Amino acid sequence: MQVFLQTLIGGVTFGAVYALVAMGFSIVYRTMGLVNFAHGSVVMIGAYAASTFYMASKLPFAVAIIVAIVVTALIGLVIERFLRPLENKDFTLMLIGTIGFGAVLEAGAVLVWGATGHAVPSPVATGPIDLAGIRIPTYSLLVIAVAAAATGLLALFLQRTKRGAAMQAVAMDHQAATAVGIHVGRSNAMAFAIGAGLAALAGSLVGPMLYVNPTMGGTLGIKGFAAAMLGGFGSMPGAIVGGLVFGLLDSFAAGNFQEYSELVTFLVFAVIVMIRPTGIFGEATVNRA
């Protein structure tokens, strides 16, 4: 039982991070119908930015995260601006463009920070909470709380604000949205900026849990992408559920299947996607390809 609960805690913590990454993928997909393959690299840039401001400039961790979000949101805007001329013209080129941006960001990180990477000390000094033998690292609680708060804010934005509603409208039918006077380009830019900001949040939070280096975006990007698929690409609740399910799947497979854990995780993933190609919460509304 102890092993089960401890596994659960590890799974939920990483699941929360995957959920953030998956939400970034989804928000760009639902507004533009585009998979942003540079997303993993933006996570990495976010991790670097936050950890650098936190460690070198001695900013409080929360402030460093906000700075990192601003930095990556700007990168998101730049990516969108570059892709905008291709919108509705060449979808494949847009996809390749995002892959290219990912490579550029990785190379840029090597130039700025070097190839070796750095370890980030935990911003929370207090030791793990002991609940009848189950140890919950305080930092894990922070990660879960911040991810939940970000999710809540995003939901409020999408459902309660005019801009959020406009983004939803563009997602449903961008031609109709244009007809009623919604600026599709601006809406797309916003989606990219929010997606990149979410990536920075995920990256900043995962920094003290891992080791920040230029290739860390690869694994996180793939896991986040798979989580988004699992939940239903483009669906926000799907991204959250997908992230958590993927984190748990990962964690329990590691405990039970040892060196075959990765294989088992992706086999289960493949089976779920075969049974439900649209994912758990998938709706086939967004298809602009």
Partner 1 sequence: MHFTRFSIAAAALIALAACAPPGPSTGSEANATGPIKIANVNAQSGQLSSLGQWEHKGVKLAIEEVNKAGGVNGRQIKLDLFDSQGDPTVGTNVARKIAAEGYIAMLGTAESAVTLAMAPILKDAKIPNITSGQSPKLAELKSPFLFLNAPTSVTFDETLAKYLVDDKGHKKIALISNNGAYGSGEHDAFLASLKSRNVTPLADEVVTPDQKDFNANLAKIREQDPEVLFIGAEEVQSGLIAKQARELGIKAVFAGGAPVGTDVYATTAGLENAEGTVVSSPYLSNEASPEIKEFAAKYKAAYNEEARMHVAKAYDGASIMIEALKQTNGEGGQKLADAIRGVKRAGLLGTYNYDANGVGIHETKIGLVKDGKVVPEAAS
**259 in contact with partner 1 (CB under 8 A):** yes
Among 40, 46, 117, 242, binds partner 1 (CB under 8 A): 117
Query: Quick one: which segment of 66-74, 156-164, 168-176, 249-257 binds partner 1 (CB under 8 A)?
Result: 249-257
Q: For partner 1, which is the closer residue by CB, 261 or 278?
A: 261
- Residues numbered 51 to 110 that lie near partner 1 (CB under 8 A) are 110
Q: For partner 1, which is the closer residue by CB, 97 or 137?
A: 137
Q: For partner 1, which is the closer residue by CB, 71 or 249?
A: 249
Among 82, 99, 118, 186, binds partner 1 (CB under 8 A): 118
Query: Quick one: which segment of 89-97, 117-125, 155-163, 227-235 binds partner 1 (CB under 8 A)?
Result: 117-125
Q: Are 232 and 242 in contact (CB under 8 A)?
A: yes
Give CA–CA dist 196/178, Å, rounded: 24
Query: Quick one: which segment of 65-73, 114-122, 143-151, 269-277 binds partner 1 (CB under 8 A)?
Result: 114-122
Q: How far is the CB of 148 from partner 1 (least distance, A)?
A: 19
The CA-based angle 30-42-150, given to 5 degrees, is 60
CA distances, 217 to each of 42, 104, 222, 278 (Å): 7, 13, 8, 25
- Residues numbered 32 to 51 that lie near partner 1 (CB under 8 A) are none
Question: DSSP of 53-84, one letter per residue?
Answer: HHHTS---HHHHHHHHHHHHHHHHHHHHHHHG
**214 in contact with partner 1 (CB under 8 A):** yes
Q: For partner 1, which is the closer residue by CB, 7 or 178?
A: 7
Count CA within 13 A, CB hemisphere, residue 255: 16
Give CA–CA dist 170/182, Å, rounded: 8
Which element (helix H / strand E) includes 124? none
Contacts with partner 1 by CB under 8 A: the residue count is 40
**14 in contact with partner 1 (CB under 8 A):** yes
* Burial class of 255 by CB neighbour count within 10 A (0 to 12, 13 to 18, 19+): middle
- Region for 127 from its dihedrals, namely left if φ exceeds 0, alpha if ψ lies in -120 to 50, beta otherwise: beta
Give CA–CA dist 174/182, Å, rounded: 9
**7 in contact with partner 1 (CB under 8 A):** yes
Among 104, 219, 267, 270, binds partner 1 (CB under 8 A): 219
Which is it for strands 118-119 and 211-212: parallel, antiparallel or unpaired? antiparallel
Q: For partner 1, which is the closer residue by CB, 10 or 231?
A: 10
Among 62, 86, 95, 209, binds partner 1 (CB under 8 A): 209
**122 in contact with partner 1 (CB under 8 A):** yes
Q: In this structure, which amino acid lies at residue 96?
A: I
Q: Is 42 helix (H, G, I), strand (E, B) or coil?
A: helix
Give CA–CA dist 95/198, Å, rounded: 20
Among 135, 157, 165, 186, binds partner 1 (CB under 8 A): 135
Binding-site ranges for partner 1 (CB under 8 A): 2-3, 6-7, 9-11, 13-14, 110, 115-119, 121-122, 128, 130, 135, 137, 209-211, 213-216, 219, 247, 250-252, 254-256, 258-259, 261-262
